[in-house]
Amino acid sequence: MFRQTQLIEPAYLSTDPITGRRHDQTVHFTLSYSHETSDLAALYARLSPHSSAVSHVSDAFTKTTALFSGIEVKPSSGNKPEAEYQVSIWMGASLRKKAELARKAGLSEMTSVLIEPAIVVVGSEWYFYLVYLQPTGAVHVLEHGRCSTISISGVFKILRVLKNIIEYGLEGFEGGPEAKAGYWGGFLGPVLERLAVGAERAKGNASAATPGDYMID
């Protein structure tokens, strides 16, 4: 589902290499793997408090919700480079958080498939991007097409692109032959599942360590 964005946790912000200043920018909208979906709510509930922060924002609730993509909207008089800058900061923080989750889950090798789409809208013009992390941790934003709402064909193209983005984000969620495909099946789902299993094992070990298990000489 679409939702408005929140402030970014400082640890995931891009930093100016000269001044050391953190670049704090948000975008207008993002997609979320909502708690309102029963399967996702059950998965989130299995994460321990230590692993419950699965997104890069500081809001207490939203940080427990996995986020996907980013959309920045400007009026027709708006500045496209500024919008691209905002998208790069938001998406860079999002990808750094997900790479951190993969490392915690022991799945660092999966960060090679950590690529997300993003959108910039300036007036009637829509620009589409693919965003990925470089080995240095820097974010790379690659423009991947554009279209306009001025024409009917452009509107339908936008709808097709949005449909493809959502399908990519959810591919593998339902399991079956495509369980390991797409963004969910190929990356985010396995990472969150591994974290949830680790949290459950930690809880089990803590429950087993009762006072009766120890002897004091």
- The answer to whether position 73 is within a domain reads yes
Q: In 3-state terms, what secondary structure has residue 16?
A: coil
pLDDT grade for 201, boundaries at 50, 70 and 90: confident
Name, in order, each residue with C-beta under 8 angstroms of 33's C-beta and a sequence gap of 6 or more: 40, 65, 66, 67, 68, 184, 188
Q: How many domains does the chain have?
A: 1
- The answer to whether position 136 is within a domain reads yes
The mean pLDDT of 168-194, rounded to a whole number, is: 85
What's the CA gap between 84 and 136, in Å, rounded?
A: 20
The mean pLDDT of 113-140, rounded to a whole number, is: 91
- The answer to whether position 209 is within a domain reads no
What's the CA gap between 28 and 31, in Å, rounded?
A: 11
For position 213, what pLDDT does the model report? 47
Q: Is the pLDDT of residue 217 over 90?
A: no
pLDDT for 130-180, tens place per residue? 999 887 778 889 999 999 999 999 999 999 999 999 999 999 887 766 667
For position 177, what pLDDT does the model report? 60
pLDDT for 2-16, tens place per residue? 566 678 998 888 776
Q: Is the pLDDT of residue 216 over 70?
A: no
- Cβ proximity of 56 and 27 under 8 Å: no
- Tell me, letter by letter, the H, E, C secondary structure of 19-49: CCCEECCCCCEEEECCCCCHHHHHHHHHCCC
- The answer to whether position 211 is within a domain reads no
- The answer to whether position 208 is within a domain reads no
- The answer to whether position 144 is within a domain reads yes
For position 46, what pLDDT does the model report? 93
Residue 186, phi-psi category: left (phi > 0), alpha (psi -120 to 50), beta (remainder) = alpha
- Cβ proximity of 8 and 57 under 8 Å: yes
What's the CA gap between 147 and 128, in Å, rounded?
A: 9
The structure tokens listed for 110 are 């999966």
pLDDT for 53-105, tens place per residue? 999 999 888 999 999 999 999 999 999 999 999 999 999 999 999 999 999 99
